[in-house]
Amino acid sequence: MTFKEIIQSNKPVLVDFFAPWCGPCKMIAPVLKDVKQEIGDAVTIIKIDVDKNPQTAGEFQVSSIPTLILFKNGNQLWRQTGMVTKGALVSTLKQHTSQGL
């Protein structure tokens, strides 16, 4: 399945644009893991390495990392660059999911 196909999903998809050498990217990884445990399958979370996928990062104007973008049906619903807390992220995801989690 391609990235374009994944973000066209009817289920919200949270994309983490990161790089393995990025300090803040490493700090956000456990936050995303905790968020996934809390919200389960209501949202799909995927990671995109900007070094391996520069075209995808460029297409979505990702110039700083980490950048989180929430998609649903191919539309960008929310975007955050930099660190985000688990609570803020869960709250944002709940706003954008049809089930309300």
Nearest in space to 46 (alpha carbons), one of 71, 14, 21: 14
Q: What is the pLDDT of residues 25-75, one digit of tens each?
A: 999 999 999 999 999 989 999 999 999 999 999 999 999 999 999 999 999
In a domain, 35, yes or no: yes
- Alpha-carbon span 93 to 101, nearest angstrom: 9
In a domain, 3, yes or no: no
In a domain, 1, yes or no: no
In a domain, 51, yes or no: yes
Structure tokens at 50: 């900007």
From 3, 8, 9, 22, active-site residue: 22
From 25, 48, 50, 68, active-site residue: 25
Q: What is the pLDDT of residues 82-98, one digit of tens each?
A: 999 999 999 999 988 76
Respond yes or no: is residue 82 known to be catalytic.
no
In a domain, 75, yes or no: yes
The parent domain of residue 36 ranges over 14-95
Residue 96's pLDDT is 83
Respond yes or no: is residue 22 known to be catalytic.
yes
Domain count, the chain: 1
In a domain, 78, yes or no: yes
CATH code of the domain containing 23: 3.40.30.10
